[in-house]
Amino acid sequence: MDLLNTLVDKGLRRELPTREEALAVLATSDDELLDVVAAAGKVRRQWFGRRVKLNYLVNLKSGLCPEDCSYCSQRLGSKAEILKYTWLKPEEASQAAAAGVAGGAKRVCLVASGRGPTDRDVDRVGKTIEAIKEQNEGVEVCACLGLLSDGQAERLKDAGADAYNHNLNTSEATYGQITKTHTYADRVDTVQKAHAAGLSACSGLIAGMGESDEDLVDVVYSLRELDSDSVPVNFLIPFEGTPLAKEWNLTPQRCLRILAMVRFVCPDVEVRIAGGREVHLRSMQPLALNIANSIFLGDYLTSEGQAGQADLDMIADAGFEVEGAGTTTLPAHRADALAAARAAAAQGPCGSSAAEAGCGSACGGCSGHEAVPARAAAEAPAPVPAGAPAQAPAGEVRSDLVAVRRRGAGTDLAPNA
């Protein structure tokens, strides 16, 4: 297929495909799907070999959010029966993180619900980062606390954060239909603040919210423009009790095409299969590892994923290897660019330290990991109950596929890792 040869050539050169080429990937037929996966796999292997990076989510503060993101089980007015709790203590968060690291995770993602952190929240998260790094040598920490005010990214970096996550989620054109309490521009601003502070920017999307192919291509092009180092691709699982509870639009084939499009547009970044992996890719998860080089291990923020051991078995069975702590995830050119950005941020605008230079006003918002209710059973790799259709009819609530998290952070039960 000429299209795929062109996309592979461009991916190996880090050249941006045309919008028409990106749209054509989403329009490929099922007969062409394995060729699409193989082509995206060539690009993936060029930049990331056969390594899979494992990330581990710790939900520092769950539910009770004043924002209204339609996809989110923690939103204002959500009727989803999720765990609700306020800030974990640093030692509690560190204990949860240690379980993920022991399970093979290289990065811990610290997430808190809410529009954005207060300065006191930033101090609290700073202490949590210190506790985690003290107990887990070499671990990367990513913070995901919502919209950042001026100076907060610098303070998180000084506390030891390596990365900051804030997802764009969907295209600028449709953002207002998903959330009314903050804007797409607010989100872009926070990703830029993270970048400017020398943090590795992590920003991704949620597919399956009723968006068009053009919307998906738009948001992925925006992510490339923002130069995110990692791009989490969430597949919406409509959480009962949220406005999108009936949006069951995805098939495993569609998910694979979306991942391939992301890989072609952002060839040398960490493409992470995020929430909804088990529910929407189901038995096709191993195939998706040929495209993405990163996943979350174990559970999500408010929902349960497949057992951590099932993740590890899947990676080994598919012929991939878990990326070790001593390996740099990003290709050398990106790692070098990040190191240069960190050095520049440390200098600050007038040669003073960035932390000294920073101060400022509030903004707002938060990341989209909450859109990740996952599978019902924790032990077997395939989440679909016997007799369930391959794709739930649109408009039907499928609470049988969504297991609310009842273990790990915020509970007395051991985490899944």
Q: Point out the annotated binding site for [4Fe-4S] cluster.
A: 65, 69, 72
Smallest distance from the beta carbon of 204 to ligand SF4, in angstroms? 13
Nearer to ligand SF4, 93 or 101 (CB): 93
Which residues participate in the annotated binding site? 65, 69, 72, 109, 142, 202, 272
> Active site includes 69?
yes
Catalytically annotated residue among 72, 144, 255, 266:
72
Smallest distance from the beta carbon of 272 to ligand SF4, in angstroms? 17
Nearer to ligand SF4, 36 or 374 (CB): 374
Burial of 255-276, coded b for 16+ CB within 10 Å and e otherwise, reads: bbbbbbbbbbbbbbbbbbbbbb
> Active site includes 363?
no
Nearer to ligand SF4, 61 or 133 (CB): 61
> Active site includes 72?
yes
Smallest distance from the beta carbon of 74 to ligand SF4, in angstroms? 4
> Active site includes 144?
no
Smallest distance from the beta carbon of 155 to ligand SF4, in angstroms? 20
Which residues participate in the annotated binding site for [2Fe-2S] cluster? 109, 142, 202, 272
Which residues bind to ligand SF4, rule: CB under 6 A? 65, 67, 69, 72, 74-75, 113, 115, 146, 365-366, 368, 370
Catalytically annotated residue among 115, 142, 155, 263:
142
Nearer to ligand SF4, 116 or 415 (CB): 116
> Active site includes 65?
yes
Catalytically annotated residue among 44, 51, 69, 255:
69
Smallest distance from the beta carbon of 193 to ligand SF4, in angstroms? 16
Active site residues: 65, 69, 72, 109, 142, 202, 272
